[in-house]
């Protein structure tokens, strides 16, 4: 018996496999980015920097670190990886025989009318053995196919967790930039409220001495009230943005050890060298996860095909047996059993063939899902590359427009002080400058958000 077990293991390890040869599907995307979006393209792309190196704002780094520690959805994703790892270990264990130690007593009483002696009798048997129960010799690779599928499923879960982690980092950065924008816009609105209140008071005094009319006062009062409403709206949005950031972090925001960035200068889009789509897309965790799911489906085909062939199952035990406990380990008590079982499927109403068809259909689904993931990834990166270039142009134009409005306000204010222009003209210049400044802040936030999204889209670390 001791010689049979190693032989069985060797035979199982030497078995064949019916898993189809795996070939990665060709990427159904263009060979290069669209010309209009080809910003920094060409050449081999280097590995993405760690998120701490990518996001230069020290305050943002503190918040991202807190989110990676406390975010509940990320904890669930990590636990999913642990679950898949455990399942892969269980599937791997099925490739080897399980050896159990058994201690057993059997007792039976036979009544006298069933006994040849006419007297009742009690029989006892004691067994101690090492046993292997229902170990399948994996000649056709069915168990190995299931092991390969479980291993690929674990890798898919791990890549999915990495993808979620990248998305969390990008989402936290975007929420932080939104909060910075609203802080800056609220500060600008509050300064405008104070400025317009002072203008209202000045116009009111001028009206009292006959130097201004009621229309000027009503215009000044309406401008002040409008600024107050805008400030209240921005304060509400700021509170909502802070709450959204707290939700992503999963805890109260960490106490600031560094002040927040006063502008979006530290969040400007880094100079990223983007290579060809095949280099960029195939390293994204979501694409890698989709490919592992394809490998799972491919391995399941092998397991389904192997079910057509005979299954050899071994049950064996070796130890000692005795009618008395005191003689269990005495000389001559050695006992063993060996029960090989050959099962050949003859008729199952098409169940086995249906399982093969099901496995092949699921592979077709996995191929299409993999290709769709690649196409979605291509579009995401292409859109962000285009946005990076266009936001840079837009911000430059808006900053120039804000500078022009500022100069216009200065000249109109001088003309109004000299009595050359009306107060309505001055008020119009103030409104135009306020709107231009708000637009600059919004575009800077959008440009910073593109940086965070590009970090995720390029498979950052």
Q: Say what the pLDDT of residue 41 is.
A: 40
Q: Name the phi and psi angles at 441, rounded to 5.
A: -65, -40
Instruction: Specify the 3-state DSSP secondary structure of 16.
Output: coil
Q: Say what the pLDDT of residue 372 is.
A: 94
Q: Say what the pLDDT of residue 357 is.
A: 92
Instruction: Measure CA 442 to chain center.
Output: 28
How is residue 61 written in tokens? 């780094």
Report the distance separating Cα 4 and Cα 182, nearest Å: 75
* Residues contacting 275, CB < 8 A, separation 6+: 41, 42, 43, 44, 45
Q: Say what the pLDDT of residue 48 is.
A: 60
Q: Say what the pLDDT of residue 325 is.
A: 73
Report the distance separating Cα 303 and Cα 356, nearest Å: 9
Q: Say what the pLDDT of residue 359 is.
A: 92
Q: Say what the pLDDT of residue 272 is.
A: 65
For 10-95+138-308+351-457, CATH number out of 1.10.10.60, 1.20.1600.10, 1.10.620.20, 3.40.50.300 equals 1.20.1600.10
Q: Where are the domains of the chain?
A: 10-95+138-308+351-457
Q: Which residues pair with 137 in a beta bridge?
A: 312
Report the distance separating Cα 372 and Cα 454, nearest Å: 19
Positions of E strands within 323-411? 334-343
Q: Say what the pLDDT of residue 439 is.
A: 92
Look-up of token digits 């029989």:
123
Report the distance separating Cα 293 and Cα 287, nearest Å: 10
pTM: 0.81
Q: Say what the pLDDT of residue 67 is.
A: 93
Instruction: Measure CA 447 to chain center.
Output: 23
> Consecutive sets of 10 residues in the chain, 461 residues long: mean pLDDT of each?
44 64 88 60 49 86 92 88 87 83 83 76 82 83 88 92 92 92 91 89 83 83 90 94 92 73 52 72 91 93 88 85 76 81 85 90 94 92 87 91 92 84 85 91 90 86 65
Q: Say what the pLDDT of residue 14 is.
A: 47
**From the CB of residue 66, how many other CB atoms can be counted at a distance below 10 Å?**
19
Q: Say what the pLDDT of residue 270 is.
A: 57
């Amino acid at each position: 018996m001791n010689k049979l077990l190693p032989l069985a293991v060797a035979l199982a390890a030497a078995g064949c496999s019916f898993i189809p040869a795996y070939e990665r599907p060709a990427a159904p995307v263009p060979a290069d980015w669209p010309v209009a979006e080809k910003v920094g393209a060409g050449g081999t792309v280097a590995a993405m920097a760690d998120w701490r190196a990518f996001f230069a704002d020290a305050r943002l780094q503190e918040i991202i670190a807190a989110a990676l520690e406390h975010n509940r959805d990320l904890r669930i994703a990590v636990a999913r990886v642990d679950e898949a790892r455990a399942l892969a270990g269980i599937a791997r264990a099925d490739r080897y025989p399980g050896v159990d130690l058994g201690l057993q007593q059997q007792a039976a009483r036979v009544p006298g009318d069933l006994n040849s002696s006419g007297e009742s009798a009690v029989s006892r048997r004691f067994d101690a053995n090492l046993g292997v129960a229902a170990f399948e010799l994996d000649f056709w690779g069915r168990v190995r196919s299931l092991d390969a599928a479980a291993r690929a499923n674990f890798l898919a879960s791990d890549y999915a967790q990495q993808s979620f982690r990248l998305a969390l980092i990008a989402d936290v950065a975007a929420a932080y930039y939104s909060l910075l924008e609203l802080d800056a816009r609220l500060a600008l609105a509050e300064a405008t409220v104070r400025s317009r209140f002072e203008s209202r008071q000045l116009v009111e005094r001028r009206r009292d001495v006959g130097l201004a009319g009621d229309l000027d006062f009503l215009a000044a009062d309406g401008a002040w009230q409008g600024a107050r409403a805008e400030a209240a709206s921005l304060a509400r949005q700021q509170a909502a943005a802070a709450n959204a950031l707290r939700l992503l972090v999963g805890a109260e925001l960490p106490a600031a050890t560094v002040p927040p960035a006063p502008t979006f200068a530290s969040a400007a889009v880094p100079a990223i060298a983007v290579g060809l789509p095949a280099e960029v897309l195939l390293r994204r965790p979501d694409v890698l996860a989709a490919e592992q799911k394809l490998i799972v489906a491919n391995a399941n085909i092998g397991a389904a095909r192997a079910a057509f062939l005979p299954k050899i199952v071994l049950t064996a035990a070796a130890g000692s047996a005795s009618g008395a406990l005191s003689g269990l380990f005495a000389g001559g008590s050695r006992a063993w059993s060996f029960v090989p079982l050959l099962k050949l499927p003859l008729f199952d109403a098409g169940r086995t063939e249906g399982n093969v068809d099901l496995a092949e259909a699921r592979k077709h689904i996995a191929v299409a899902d993999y290709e769709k993931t690649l196409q979605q990834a291509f579009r995401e990166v292409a859109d962000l590359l285009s946005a990076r270039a266009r936001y840079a142009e837009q911000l430059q134009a808006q900053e120039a427009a804000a500078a022009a409005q500022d100069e216009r306000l200065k000249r109109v204010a001088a003309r109004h002080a000299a009595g050359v222009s009306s107060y309505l003209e001055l008020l119009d210049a103030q409104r135009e400058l306020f709107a231009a400044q708000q637009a600059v802040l919004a575009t800077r936030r959008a440009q910073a958000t593109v940086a965070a999204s590009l970090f995720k889209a390029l498979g950052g670390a």
